[in-house]
Amino acid sequence: MTVFLNGQFLPISEAKVSVLDRGFIFGDGVYEVIPVYSRQIFRLPEHLQRLRRSLDNIQLPNPYQDEEWISIIRELVSRNEPEDQYLYLHITRGVAKRDHAFPNPPVPATVFLMSNPLNTPPARLLQSGISAITAPDNRWLRCDIKAISLLPNVLLRQMAIYAGCAETIMIRDNEFMTEGAASNIFIVKNGVLIAPPKDHLMLPGITYDVVLELAASNNIPRQVRKVLLRELLNADELLLTSSTKEVLAITQLDEKLVGTGKPGPMFEKLYGLYQKFKQEIMRA
């Protein structure tokens, strides 16, 4: 596997970062996950825009212009074998003596990219849906930043695994749903697709945007608004979205069936539209 580290393409076994890197010491950095289908990079401008936004929000200058990012990313895709890949892009505030305050004068950012094979969910999971649990959202108040410091998300995802489930849906203030540990969540009630708003309490998902755009262009009734806990627990369908999972049905929540316990009509419709959209991108 070929990776990119600080200006160089090299085998992953040769990629080394200092133990004083602020990513390692403080989790001081941001990241992106970008799907690649048949070597076509999915929604690259949108991913680069979200990256810029994350960098601005942590006051870290963007180490590259968009054109430079695009050529690095294209090169990385071409140097790795799989046709379908997911790219992991990671930028930290660099290597400096341990001090919480930013290095002064600033030091060069650490820039790391790797490619992994993209294995979208198998047919079995598409047909059965997945199980999830709910748990309090105990993260900070800037969940809109795609920060590499993911300890709460790690612990929340592991909680799901211990419960024999695939994802944890987070609840703020015992009142409303925010998102999954590593995904966005939609509910469906009486044929209406309902999504929580892109505010400071959730990550603005690229897949989330695609699903809402597909719903809009196909006249699917939809609302973007706060989703109350009781609405989550009484939904007809629940959907999960992310760059690596695409669109999945959640068919069990906290050991109870969601709706009929089978992926429902909204899932079927949106999954189909998403796959069609992907095909169009791949032919572009």
List of residues contacting ligand PDD (CB under 6 A)? 33, 153, 179, 182-184, 203, 205-208, 241-244
Tell me how far apart the alpha carbons of residues 78 and 75 are, in angstroms, rounded to a whole number. Answer: 5
Which residue, among 252, 242, 130, has the nearest Cα to 179 in the 3D structure? 242
Closer residue to ligand PDD in complex, CB, 193/206: 206
Looking at the Cβ atoms of 2 and 244, the one nearer to ligand PDD is 244
Beta bridge partner(s), residue 35: 86
* Shortest CB 93 distance to ligand PDD, Å: 20
CB 133 within 8 A of CB 100: no
| Closer residue to ligand PDD (CB): 36 or 96 | 36
Q: How far is the CB of 182 from ligand PDD (least distance, A)?
A: 4
The answer to whether residue 146 is catalytic is yes
Structure tokens of 1? 């596997």
For strands 130-136 and 246-253, give the pairing: parallel
Comparing CB distances to ligand PDD, the nearer of 29 and 205 is 205
Cβ 33 to ligand PDD shortest distance, Å: 4
Q: What are phi and psi of 77, to 5 degrees?
A: -60, -45
Residue matched to tokens 């069609």 = 276
Identify the burial level of 172 via C-beta atoms within 10 angstroms of its C-beta, where 0-12 means exposed, 13-18 middle and 19 or more buried.
buried
Torsions phi, psi of 277, nearest 5?
Answer: -60, -45
Q: Rounded distance, CA 239 to CA 121, Å?
A: 14
Q: How far is the CB of 101 from ligand PDD (least distance, A)?
A: 27
Among residues 97, 146, 245, 256, the one annotated as catalytic is 146
Please identify every residue annotated as catalytic.
146
